[in-house]
Amino acid sequence: MHADIVVLPGDGIGPEIVAATLPVLEAVASRYGHAFSFAEHDIGGVAIDRHGEPLPAATLEAARRADAVLLGAVGGPKWSDPNAKVRPEQGLLAIRKALGLFANLRPVRPHAAALGASPIKSELLQGVDIMVVRELTGGIYFGDKTRSETEATDLCRYSVVEIERVVRSAAALARARRGHLTSVDKANVLETSRLWRDVTTRVMRDEFPDVTLEHQLVDSMAMHLLSKPRAYDVIVTENMFGDILTDEASMLAGSLGLLASASLGSGKVGIYEPIHGSAPDIAGKGIANPYATILSAAMLLRHSLGLEAEAAAVEAAVSSALDAKVFTADLAAAGQGVDTRTAAQAVVDRLA
């Protein structure tokens, strides 16, 4: 098949991990007889520097026309002045919203060879396989904001429709997996969470009676996630809770550099990006872990291009590289670790 992939490297380690991932997609294309074309565009801080805005119209237009979007990361100290008028992160939020990507799938599957990198006891991690579905275009991220000399506000708003559609996405995934959905909210305090709980209960009762539903408050969820991670199958939650819980969940896998994501809507185009950020502390050193981005490319093959065998081959190649202890510094023993390109090459070699 032929596919047009828009590539948005962004800032910090973004260009490094994206450059490491494109050869993996090229290797897939050559092994399976596909033709992928890559068109690079600016987003985030680099777009502010070059175009004065974090999401240039040309970037959004290209993304709309593409089959899929592969993104690195945005942001960094250069653009983090609290009084700055425009921020790199606005570009990311704007493209998610503009493309209607309301469901952000973040799989958490600790790999046996990397268990030693996790601060959690290995016996709690065996067999952990969680899919977090984070609502991505609503909630406090997108509500009205105000700021005066003496106070500031961020409005948290959810509509019934916004909750229904993401719960349906998560429940469909649960049905195809182990049949269990955990909905995370703060219904003991927040009105938006009480609506979330009511809508979720109704959708599950009426449309997914075969999927078991459990409600969990977000604070205790943060604890249970580390103390009994095997108890979870699919977790669905609102935007900010999902952001925070998935960075926490990365510690089950051993590194933020291992967690991939797919941002999906009702159309064909999705954005595929690691869950981590631009990692300013290691940017430019060539040592970032590329596996999260490579695994995001696997999700791109699966969800936007429908290439299941190819996606599975990329995942198997990453697993095999991990089995062979091809570890970047975040996974390796102190003072050790291969560079970004070496890790990515190990994946390419296994696909050849």
Ligand X SMILES: NC(=O)c1ccc[n+]([C@@H]2O[C@H](COP(=O)([O-])OP(=O)(O)OC[C@H]3O[C@@H](n4cnc5c(N)ncnc54)[C@H](O)[C@@H]3O)[C@@H](O)[C@H]2O)c1
Ligand Y SMILES: CC(C)[C@H](C(=O)O)[C@@H](O)C(=O)O
Binding-site residue ranges for substrate: 96, 106, 134, 219
Active site residue 247: yes
Q: Which of 4, 129, 154, 243 is catalytic?
A: 243
Active site residue 158: no
Could you say which of Mg ion, ligand X, ligand Y, none residue 138 binds, taking C-beta under 5 to 8 angstroms by partner kind?
none
Q: Among residues 153, 111, 95, 140, which one has the least CA distance to residue 237?
A: 140
Active site residue 49: no
By rule CB under 6 A, what string of x and - marks binding of each residue 206-245 to ligand Y? -------------------------------------x--
Annotated binding residues: 76-89, 96, 106, 134, 219, 243, 247, 277-289
Q: Tell me the site size for ligand Y, rule CB under 6 A.
A: 7
C-beta of 132 vs 204, nearer to Mg ion = 132
Residues 6+ apart with CB under 8 A from 97: 137, 142
Decide if residue 275 touches ligand Y (CB under 6 A): yes
CA 15-19-25 angle, to 5 degrees, is 135
Give me the helices (H) in 133-227, please.
Answer: 160-176, 191-207, 218-227
C-beta of 77 vs 306, nearer to ligand X = 77
The DSSP element (H or E) to which 213 belongs, if any, is strand 212-217
Annotated binding residues for Mg(2+): 219, 243, 247
Residue 2's SS3 state is: strand
Binds ligand X (CB under 6 A): choice among 22, 66, 74, 170: 74
Q: What is the DSSP string of 304-349?
A: TT--HHHHHHHHHHHHHHHHTT---TTTSSTT----HHHHHHHHHH
Give the residue numbers marked as catalytic: 141, 186, 219, 243, 247
- Judged by the rule CB under 6 A, the positions of this chain that interact with ligand X are 13, 17, 73-76, 89, 92, 256-257, 273, 276-282, 288-289, 292, 330
